[in-house]
Structure 1
Amino acid sequence: MSNIVQDFGSLISKLNELTFSILLAGYKTFPPSWSKRGKKNLYHSLWFITKGTGDIVINGKKCKLSPGKLVVFTPGMTCDKKTNSSESLEFYFIRFTHAGAFEKKEQWHFINPEEISFPLQGVYTIKNSPGVAFLLEKIISLSKRRGAVIAFKKKILFQELLLMFIQDFHTQTISKDTKQVIEETIDYISHHYQRTITLTDLAKMAGLSNSHYSRLFKKYTGYSPIEYLTHLRIDLAKELLAHSDIRIKEVSQSVGYEDELYFSRIFKKFVGVSPTQFSNENKMANQ
């Protein structure tokens, strides 16, 4: 049975805190009736199946391999693999390493590879096989070349590949109608963030109860509706504070907060410093 990703917000957040390096990339074919048992994985790697069928047992859990299946291996994972007796199994593969490197509240954090786990593992189903294969072909092509620019391009393409996986998982769990409803309310938030916007307003616009709308919105974006609105307002406030000379009160009002003190508390909670400190530091940096 394939894994089903539900908590997209958590998955995206974890991936966003990682930096990657590709060690190997290529295309492999295993012949009919090929098998390997009790293999303990030493590296992070992924397979994307393009032709043939087979079976894989990961830590005791059996899954079918067929075109469109993504397999993510992590160190220490014990696997039994075998191909069908009548056909070869063909797949793209990438071996990679990762470490934690992310900024939070104006502070950088670094985590060694052995201290941070990769948030995907096991077997997944991919619907957008052509898109995934296209990116993998580009990565493999670059892997035959060397140089700093090539390494940088490979890193970008690998992140695009991971994003494509997430979008594919997401599409599989969100109906077209739900996507349209949520997108319409996101569009409304983007154009009317200066106004007072409540959960009830957004749910009514979507034609749903508050609780149902909140669940769908968080599933789609990774944030509750009000968290999404707050992040948008704070991001816009940061732009104003860094690149203009308007007063804190004017910034507060321009992003939808009438109460300057409340705005300052929210800003410090999300950014880690007060609006005044953020403004002073960023203006000095831009001089």
Structure 2
Amino acid sequence: MTTFPTSKRTIIDYTSIDPFFNFKLGKVCHLTARPPLEEHIHPEAIELSYFTKGEQVYTIEDISYTINSGEMFITLPNEYHSSGSHPKDKSHFYYLIISTQLLQNLLFSKEESQQLLKSLLTISKRVFKVSPRLTELFESLLECGQDPKPFHKTRIRNLLSELLMTVIEDEKSQLPPTENPMEEVLTYIKTHIYDELPLTHLAHMAHLSEGRFKTNFRLYTGLPPREYILRQKIKCAKRLLKEESLSITQISYQLGFSSSQYFSTVFKRFTTLSPIDYRNQHLHNL
């Protein structure tokens, strides 16, 4: 039987290019949900995780944070973090682990380097929206690490500096979510998850053609509308499995799945567990 990989990843340790570049950069694509991330730390290093598709829950000191597509998550030096009981979600993301020592010397001015480090250490939000331009910067930085060209060390330093400054600027310029019309659509989906959700109706709510709506929705959430709705159904199913005495079949039909078998297949794809195993695990942990 032919087997296919469930995860693809590229990881570069830039100290192999120059000991000065004490940072690692990774690009990860989980094609299905995977077992939870175990608790770990990064000694004297900051980690930035940027999701371009999917959703992930991370835990720091028993506090859970949900990261959605288009959002950044920051972990400070020496902080224990994991995904708790949550699986690694079906997702695409980049992560950057950078030493505080490098940050103190990255920019051409010592004073500005210190300000860069301070700005990262004092970011007020653990999770925040960032510009889509981050994708281009991460990809360019990966390319420099994989395919050295003339002046590649200068390029790496400049790209890394620009990436970090963009993160800081994006965190400081956050707009309230209600100022984006797509938020109304997302709220409607969550509050009408048991109803039919035709894209024509959602597009009308956003005052867009269906084609433009699909494009804008994906830009805002990182997901096609149908996959976003499917993920919300799975979230709702998890709550029902934990809190209600409904059967698997009842839950599947209540959420609009064509059969309990299809519901079980989709549920396992996003959680690594079948609905019955998820319910039993929760009951066991009570």
TM category, shorter? 0.3 to 0.5
Structure 1 length normalisation: TM-score? 0.46
- The structure carrying a bigger strand percent of its residues is 1
Structure 2 length normalisation: TM-score? 0.46
